[in-house]
Amino acid sequence: MLEALFNPKRVAVIGASTKELHIGNRVIRNLIDFGFKGEIYPINPKADEIWGIPALKSILDAPDGIDVVHMVIPAKFVPQAVEDCGTKGVKHIIINSGGFSEIGPEGEAIEMDFLERAEKYGIRIFGPNCQGIINSDPEIRAYCNFTFTKPEPGAISIVALSGGVAEVIHQGFAAMGVGTRIYASNGNACDVTIPEIIRYLGDDPGTQVLVTYVEGLRDPSAFLEACTEVAAKKPVLAMKAGRTREGAKAAASHTGGLAKEDIATDLIFKKAGVLSFSDEGELIQSAVAFASQPRARGNRVGIITNTGGPAVIATDILAGAGLELPPLSSQTEAFLKERLYPEASVANPVDVLATGTAEHYRTCLDAMMEDDAFDCVFVNFVTPFFVDTDSIAREIAEVNQQKRKPLVCNLMTDKGQWVDTVRILQDAGVPCYALPGEAARAMANLVRYHQITTRDKGDVAPVRDVDSQTARRIVDDAVANGSKILAADEVYRVLEAYGISVPDWRITDSVDGAIEAAEDIGYPVVLKADAPSVIHKSDMGGVSLNLMAADALRMAAEDMQTRISDADLGFFVQKYMPGGLETIMGAKAEDGLGHAVMFGLGGIYVEVLKDVVFELTPVTAAEATEMLTSIKGTTLLQGVRGQPGVDQEALIELIQRLSQLLEDLPVIQELDLNPVMAFEEGALVVDARILL
Amino acid sequence: MLEALFNPKRVAVIGASTKELHIGNRVIRNLIDFGFKGEIYPINPKADEIWGIPALKSILDAPDGIDVVHMVIPAKFVPQAVEDCGTKGVKHIIINSGGFSEIGPEGEAIEMDFLERAEKYGIRIFGPNCQGIINSDPEIRAYCNFTFTKPEPGAISIVALSGGVAEVIHQGFAAMGVGTRIYASNGNACDVTIPEIIRYLGDDPGTQVLVTYVEGLRDPSAFLEACTEVAAKKPVLAMKAGRTREGAKAAASHTGGLAKEDIATDLIFKKAGVLSFSDEGELIQSAVAFASQPRARGNRVGIITNTGGPAVIATDILAGAGLELPPLSSQTEAFLKERLYPEASVANPVDVLATGTAEHYRTCLDAMMEDDAFDCVFVNFVTPFFVDTDSIAREIAEVNQQKRKPLVCNLMTDKGQWVDTVRILQDAGVPCYALPGEAARAMANLVRYHQITTRDKGDVAPVRDVDSQTARRIVDDAVANGSKILAADEVYRVLEAYGISVPDWRITDSVDGAIEAAEDIGYPVVLKADAPSVIHKSDMGGVSLNLMAADALRMAAEDMQTRISDADLGFFVQKYMPGGLETIMGAKAEDGLGHAVMFGLGGIYVEVLKDVVFELTPVTAAEATEMLTSIKGTTLLQGVRGQPGVDQEALIELIQRLSQLLEDLPVIQELDLNPVMAFEEGALVVDARILL
């Protein structure tokens, strides 16, 4: 669908200008300078030619088959120009100009106007208020963009609404001598969307790595779907900014209110298998490694160095990121001891010494590439004047091109003095970094990707023993009655319909009824006030725990009647379950994305330490298990200080039942199971709340 | 003392070589290329000249007044050469050669040998197995070093044992167009030490910022002293590597066992007022900001940008680091609204738009420099082709040179195309970064330094009401008896001597005695087994809590007698104090540094969440207060969920009493107060252990 947009043969520029500082001039200059393989048609009723290309008076004068039209004209003229393009059979328009929805209602009206016209003709709009696209494919070389970094052909594609950040990322690749495949920054994105571009790049064989930057998501579910589809085929690296309250505010001010402080974006990245970043430098440096390196097949790294300290820094970062530095196998050790200098450190890291030769490097590289103890190889390479650094570089380059295992190189040099050494490595696609930490983090991300792609997320197993009809009827009735919150009995009936265990309970409207219920359930019991007027039960003295016998229950109930003078006051009587570990679960509807499900330890753990984790529905068994293991206090679930552990299987099952309940009843806005008491056997929801 | 080492007028090279790949050749070439202002004397009995300078047969043939001699000769010849230098009156020798203590006992013996001779003549040795020094002072220009980065004169000095990392840092400055003042990498550091160099640089007026890298500290207390002295005068930025177990192992392998996984280095940095880093890139980038910027006077930052997204990234980092982004004052807002484009976003960040002019930038810069709402200014500057970027750069440069408030600049450009723009900013000392995150972290560190330097650490208030003599006598007696662990009564008497509250206690050797003691103290009591054979009381059934009356106490005591068949078994009876919040304190002797004192929440908090903090003795009141507020669960101390808070003053006092106890009794190796029960009023040590 977007094929002609990214691979245009004929590009026209409405608003082509003779003034060099005008975007309508620069776009043409950029197309020429970048060696565009197609034809360029400047449209300007007053000019004869622009950069030597004859100008046309109107798009209507252009030949047929225009793939892309740039518009660099005031907003008010855009609707008519779109109309003209429609008449001409143009299929894609990049609107570089601003003055549309980003400036307020007036501009928004113009945007709506031209969009309607475009739709009529089947024209796709890229932008407005955008930079445009670049395709560095040597057969295309389309620089339909007014920015300034001129990429070499490459394997990484960049997509972002924000031209500023897309350009920063782009500059980062260029500064590292690494090419870009396709670059797309679509500004207001009124028609062609980010998910659509991501999907296109997923199908583009030239795009081997996809990098994206977001501040907020317009259509989270479309983004999730596109990323899930593409991340299954190639690495998708993404960064979300606007993470702090202040950052979200800054983002809102420049995008017109799109961004918000959220947790959903991270959950989407995780669900989709996208590699998430919070540092743009690390994003850039990691993408460079992905662009040239084979996939990691494990987390065991071997280090080769010719200087000590930088290997220590790299080791810290690698180990800190969970990579292993196994010892050399005894064969490899013996083999290297024979071939390196006697003072060389033959371990992991292997230190060939500053005087280490090309042969020493090659021997180590081959040894680690062949040694099954290692999944990837980290090279530290400082360029002392007294060794033949070009030869060392050639050996690294050659080994890199064999693509046996992923390799990164921390190249510590003066790029001005060691021009040739640098070039040998870069030309061979060796990912080179100026700092050990940068190289190590890039390598750690290759391994993280391996872990993401090989992690068995499991399928969602629909829980069969549920009575979804009953639950749906309760919820539907409440919605029909205009309730925003379910009554206690409704909550417990919904939970029970999904096989979620709750302590035995009764509802009654009298003190005697409560006593009868307690006799029936068996003491001890909990008594809770039950009336629509009672929202925060605890605060109103509407909860009484651990009532051991009838007189205690009666006193408590009469006391509640005194405190809460509500004629409709009823009582909720429930079996009191002492002991157990207090956990909490919850859920919140996320626009178009199902629900974010929360799990954590209860009480002070959640209040003081915010020790909770989230996952988007539907939650698989593997994901629920991960939730349990990824809280900080996870060892409490396993039992500490001689305490027995709790029934983790029961919690995992409960999370899945909860997930299915939420999937089946999307009208639920918020749900709290707080606390969920986990015992050595089983787990019970002791209090719950459902908002619609 | 090291004046002539760093400012040599006459440099001789013993082992000067005609071979270009030899270090004895390169040192001379480097001196010449760098424009050394003094005289060079190559020493080589077989050569006539080296790089056009006549060679001398022996150091004895050199003129008097040689400040620095390089030795680039095999280790075995070094002792005699040192002897010759002594005869000649040489004062400093840089031994570049290796083959000494780093290779084992044989080399160590040679090191001892030449050290003795050097001492005899009052010669100071730099190295061996080292790179050497560089002084870029235009009056000196001494490149007494075989590495390759040639610095411009600058304000930052670098000192590190590890030549590899020193050089990486050095390259980082050069790549950012920033100069270096003095560079010193002393390898084995057998004589001239890192603390000594740090002190020298502290006194060097040309050094405005000091950067150091360590893997382990040979003499922690000398390092602490030197850093404390220097950090009071100028910013000291330090990085410690070998933080992970694997990293420490790698460090040990290349330094010969110097490094270990420790917490003390961080505590030293903190105590000394050193700015600590764990990322070498951030260290480099921050040093660059410190080198040219005035001191921050607060944490309120104003952002000026001409592109949205990168300002969002910067905002996230700044806010995440605790900086504030206040709104513009109403005057500034009104002022800017009149002067910027109508579509510009006049807030914080101010977005002047990509089309923003030099005048717009200048107006904003001046406004934020003058507006009292801001302490520092962050500039985002992308270089679109359609604005006069040189003029913008000139305005930024000019404002920067007024040094009103600290300023950093995220310069998003293609350095190849925008050469002039880059040069204008660099020449004016504007710290320029290629990424918003890098610039933001550098700025955050300027603010962190402000916080460190203005933080009132308080003085150590000696606690007066202590009976240090009694405590000392107990400990001395134990030492005299060869005890490694104090008996329970000794522990409690030591604590009581320092005014540390413990619940009332008695020691007795019989069951009846225990009952008598309990009657005396008042029930409930705790009973603990007391005998040298009882190390882990709880595990051996040697603790019984909350005994309410005589028969319970008797049963418990008799039960202990059965379990622990030790004829010497006595009983420790103590008042049982229910309630309170369980905290822990502890201490561990740190070689030559006093003790590291630990504080945390007890029980599962320490076991599961490792929620503890450390501080080196002596601990001031301010530091003790910081300890309480810097644990993750600090709000528990203040009270949560309707619980009253605990007596924080009592805990703060207890930490200080503990600190004084440790200072007075350095023979204590380990001390545990676990738990310390904190109540609404007061705090009591309920169990304690002291190892000598």
Please report the DSSP string for B611-637 in residue order: -EEEEESSPPHHHHHHHHHHSTTHHHH
**Does residue A141 lie within any of the structural domains?**
no
Tell me whether residues B164 and A412 touch, CB distance under 8 A: yes
Range(s) of the domain holding residue A678 = 456-500+577-692
Instruction: Give the Cα separation of B634 and B581 in Å (integer).
Output: 12
Instruction: Summarize the confidence of residues A274-301 as an average pLDDT.
Output: 97
Q: What angle do CA A619, A622, A625 make, to 5 degrees?
A: 95
Here the CATH number for the domain that contains residue A553 is 3.30.1490.20
Q: Are residues A426 and A570 in the same domain?
A: no
Tell me whether residues B281 and A435 touch, CB distance under 8 A: yes
Nearest to A404 by CA among A294, A548, A498: A294
Tell me whether residues A246 and B438 touch, CB distance under 8 A: no
Cβ-based contacts of A280 with chain B (< 8 Å): 313, 435-437
- Residues facing A412 on adjacent strands: A382
Q: Per residue in B400-423, pLDDT tens? A: 999 999 999 999 999 999 999 999
Q: Which residue of A has its CA nearest to B175?
A: A414
Cβ-based contacts of A422 with chain B (< 8 Å): none
Grouping H, G, I as helix, E, B as strand and the rest as coil, residue B413 is coil
Measured in angstroms, the CA of A259 and the nearest CA of chain B are apart by: 10
Grouping H, G, I as helix, E, B as strand and the rest as coil, residue B298 is coil
Got the DSSP string for A168-196?
Answer: HHHHHHHHTT--EEEEEE-TT-SSS-HHH
pLDDT > 60? residue A259: no
Q: Are residues B156 and B41 in the same domain?
A: no
Which among A319, A383, A435 is the nearest to B247, CB-wise? A319
Instruction: Give the Cα separation of A283 and A441 in Å (integer).
Output: 10
pLDDT > 50? residue A258: no
pLDDT > 90? residue B156: yes
Q: Per residue in B106-144, pLDDT tens? A: 999 999 999 999 999 999 999 999 999 999 999 999 999
ipTM above 0.90, yes or no: yes
Q: How many CB atoms lie within 10 A of CB B122?
A: 10
Question: Exposed (0-12), middle (13-18) or buried (19+): which is A104, by Cβ within 10 Å?
Answer: exposed
Task: Work out how many domains chain A is built from and give that number.
Answer: 5
Cβ neighbors of A536 (< 8 A, separation 6 or more) are none
Antiparallel, parallel or unpaired: β B182-185 and B156-160: parallel
Q: Are residues B231 and B338 in the same domain?
A: no
Instruction: Give the Cα separation of A169 and A202 in Å (integer).
Output: 19
Global pTM value: 0.93
Residue A287 phi/psi, 5-degree rounding, is -60, -40
Tell me whether residues B312 and A438 touch, CB distance under 8 A: no
The runs of H, that is alpha helices, within B546-632 are 550-563, 604-609, 621-630
Here the CATH number for the domain that contains residue B78 is 3.40.50.720
User: From residue A597, how far is each of A202, A490, A591, A626, B648 by CA, in Å?
Assistant: 29, 21, 14, 13, 37
Q: Are residues A43 and A92 in the same domain?
A: yes
Q: Which residue of B has its CA nearest to A169?
A: B435
Region of poorest pLDDT, from A221-230, B153-162, B602-611:
B602-611
Q: Per residue in B66-119, pLDDT tens? A: 999 999 999 999 999 999 999 999 999 999 999 999 888 999 999 999 999 999
Instruction: Summarize the confidence of residues B173-189 as an average pLDDT.
Output: 96
pLDDT > 70? residue A609: yes
Q: Which residue of A has its CA nearest to B151?
A: A414
The answer to whether the CB of A688 falls within 8 A of the CB of A654 is: no
**Does residue B137 lie within any of the structural domains?**
no
Instruction: Give the Cα separation of A358 and A384 in Å (integer).
Output: 13
Q: Are residues A152 and A95 in the same domain?
A: no
- Residues facing A676 on adjacent strands: A583, A685
Q: Among B553, B576, B599, give the residue marking a domain's end.
A: B576
Measured in angstroms, the CA of A28 and the nearest CA of chain B are apart by: 13
Cβ-based contacts of A319 with chain B (< 8 Å): 244-247
pLDDT > 60? residue A380: yes
CA B449: distance to chain centroid? 13
Which among B147, B149, B351 is the nearest to A254, CB-wise? B351
Instruction: Give the Cα separation of B489 and B507 in Å (integer).
Output: 7
Measured in angstroms, the CA of B76 and the nearest CA of chain A are apart by: 16
Paired tokens of A111: 């945007």
Tell me whether residues B438 and A281 touch, CB distance under 8 A: yes
Instruction: Give the Cα separation of A447 and B508 in Å (integer).
Output: 62
pLDDT bin (cut points 50, 70, 90) of residue B565 is confident
Q: Which residue of B has its CA nearest to A102?
A: B343
Q: Are residues B636 and B662 in the same domain?
A: yes
Cβ neighbors of A119 (< 8 A, separation 6 or more) are none
- The whole-number pLDDT of residue B129 equals 93
The runs of H, that is alpha helices, within A122-219 are 163-175, 194-203
pLDDT bin (cut points 50, 70, 90) of residue B455 is confident
Burial B389-405 (b: 16+ CB within 10 A, else e): bbbbbbbbbebbeeebb
**Does residue B140 lie within any of the structural domains?**
no
pLDDT > 50? residue A371: yes
The answer to whether the CB of A31 falls within 8 A of the CB of A68 is: no
**Does residue B253 lie within any of the structural domains?**
yes
How large a percentage of chain B has pLDDT more than 90? 73
Antiparallel, parallel or unpaired: β A132-135 and B53-54: unpaired
Nearest to A615 by CA among A606, A602, A601, A626: A626
Tell me whether residues B254 and A413 touch, CB distance under 8 A: no
Tell me whether residues B162 and A315 touch, CB distance under 8 A: no
CA B32: distance to chain centroid? 37
- The whole-number pLDDT of residue B257 equals 46
Nearest to B376 by CA among B425, B324, B415: B324
User: From residue B551, how far is each of B525, B526, B527, B554, B569 by CA, in Å?
Assistant: 12, 14, 13, 5, 20
pLDDT > 80? residue B492: yes
Q: Which residue of A has its CA nearest to B185?
A: A309
Q: Among A396, A423, A454, give the residue marking a domain's end.
A: A454
Cβ-based contacts of B244 with chain A (< 8 Å): 315-316, 319-320
pLDDT bin (cut points 50, 70, 90) of residue A243 is confident
Instruction: Give the Cα separation of A268 and A248 in Å (integer).
Output: 18
- Residues facing B689 on adjacent strands: B672
Tell me whether residues A607 and B313 touch, CB distance under 8 A: no
**Does residue A138 lie within any of the structural domains?**
no
Instruction: Summarize the confidence of residues A644-665 as an average pLDDT.
Output: 93
The runs of H, that is alpha helices, within A245-357 are 245-255, 264-272, 280-292, 308-320, 330-339
Tell me whether residues A349 and B21 touch, CB distance under 8 A: no
- Across chain B, what does the average pLDDT equal? 92
- The whole-number pLDDT of residue A249 equals 85
Q: Are residues B438 and B326 in the same domain?
A: yes
User: From residue B482, how far is each of B302, B534, B568, B591, B594 by CA, in Å?
Assistant: 64, 18, 19, 21, 22
Instruction: Summarize the confidence of residues A458-479 as an average pLDDT.
Output: 86
Here the CATH number for the domain that contains residue B166 is 3.40.50.261
- Residues facing B214 on adjacent strands: B240
Tell me whether residues B165 and A313 touch, CB distance under 8 A: yes
Cβ neighbors of A168 (< 8 A, separation 6 or more) are A280, B309, B310, B382, B412, B434, B435, B436
Instruction: Summarize the confidence of residues A220-248 as an average pLDDT.
Output: 93
Q: What is the largest CA-CA distance in chain A?
A: 101
Cβ-based contacts of B188 with chain A (< 8 Å): none
Q: Are residues A69 and A154 in the same domain?
A: no
**Does residue B142 lie within any of the structural domains?**
no
Tell me whether residues B413 and A171 touch, CB distance under 8 A: yes
Q: Per residue in A50-61, pLDDT tens? A: 999 999 999 999
Cβ-based contacts of A251 with chain B (< 8 Å): 308-309, 312
**Does residue A159 lie within any of the structural domains?**
yes
Instruction: Give the Cα separation of B443 and B448 in Å (integer).
Output: 9
Cβ-based contacts of B241 with chain A (< 8 Å): 309, 312-313, 316
Cβ-based contacts of B437 with chain A (< 8 Å): 279-281
Paired tokens of A328: 């050399």
Instruction: Give the Cα separation of B387 and B375 in Å (integer).
Output: 29
- The whole-number pLDDT of residue A254 equals 66
Q: Are residues B61 and B207 in the same domain?
A: no
Residue B43 phi/psi, 5-degree rounding, is -110, 115
The answer to whether the CB of B94 falls within 8 A of the CB of B144 is: yes
How large a percentage of chain B has pLDDT more than 70? 97
For the four alpha carbons of A646, A649, A655 and A661, in that order, the dihedral sign comes to negative
pLDDT bin (cut points 50, 70, 90) of residue A494 is very high
Tell me whether residues B174 and A98 touch, CB distance under 8 A: no
Cβ-based contacts of A386 with chain B (< 8 Å): 21-23, 26, 146
pLDDT bin (cut points 50, 70, 90) of residue B530 is confident
pLDDT > 70? residue B535: no
Nearest to A20 by CA among B386, B86, B585, B212: B386
Q: Per residue in A156-196, pLDDT tens? A: 999 999 999 999 999 999 999 999 999 999 999 999 999 99
pLDDT > 80? residue A292: yes
Which among A98, A241, A284 is the nearest to B316, CB-wise? A241
Paired tokens of A106: 């007036």
Instruction: Give the Cα separation of A332 and A404 in Å (integer).
Output: 17
Tell me whether residues A164 and B243 touch, CB distance under 8 A: no
Q: Among B576, B606, B636, give the residue marking a domain's end.
A: B576
User: From residue B252, how far is each of A310, B129, B245 by CA, in Å?
Assistant: 13, 16, 11
Cβ-based contacts of B386 with chain A (< 8 Å): 21-23, 26, 146
Tell me whether residues B384 and A437 touch, CB distance under 8 A: no
Antiparallel, parallel or unpaired: β B132-135 and B68-71: unpaired
Cβ neighbors of B181 (< 8 A, separation 6 or more) are B135, B136, B137, B153, B154, B155, B156, B157, B204, B206, B207, B208
Got the DSSP string for A527-580?
Answer: EEEE-TT-SSTTTTT-EEEEE-SHHHHHHHHHHHHHHS--TT-EEEEEE----S
The answer to whether the CB of B653 falls within 8 A of the CB of B620 is: no
Cβ neighbors of B41 (< 8 A, separation 6 or more) are B10, B11, B12, B13, B53, B56, B62, B63, B66
The answer to whether the CB of B406 falls within 8 A of the CB of B296 is: yes
- Across chain A, what does the average pLDDT equal? 92
More confident residue, A558 or B238: B238
Which among A164, A245, A316 is the nearest to B307, CB-wise? A164
Q: Are residues A380 and A271 in the same domain?
A: no
- The whole-number pLDDT of residue A343 equals 87
- The whole-number pLDDT of residue B258 equals 46
- The whole-number pLDDT of residue A198 equals 98
Instruction: Give the Cα separation of A573 and B655 in Å (integer).
Output: 49
**Does residue B349 lie within any of the structural domains?**
yes
Instruction: Give the Cα separation of A58 and A14 in Å (integer).
Output: 8
pLDDT bin (cut points 50, 70, 90) of residue A262 is low
Q: Are residues B254 and B241 in the same domain?
A: yes
Measured in angstroms, the CA of A385 and the nearest CA of chain B are apart by: 7
- Give the mutation candidate from B312, B317, B414 for the A interface (greatest A CB count, under 10 A): B312
Tell me whether residues B254 and A312 touch, CB distance under 8 A: yes
Measured in angstroms, the CA of A512 and the nearest CA of chain B are apart by: 32
A&B contacts, CB < 8 Å? 265
Q: Are residues B383 and B444 in the same domain?
A: yes
Tell me whether residues B165 and A309 touch, CB distance under 8 A: yes
More confident residue, B453 or A445: A445
Tell me whether residues A349 and B253 touch, CB distance under 8 A: yes
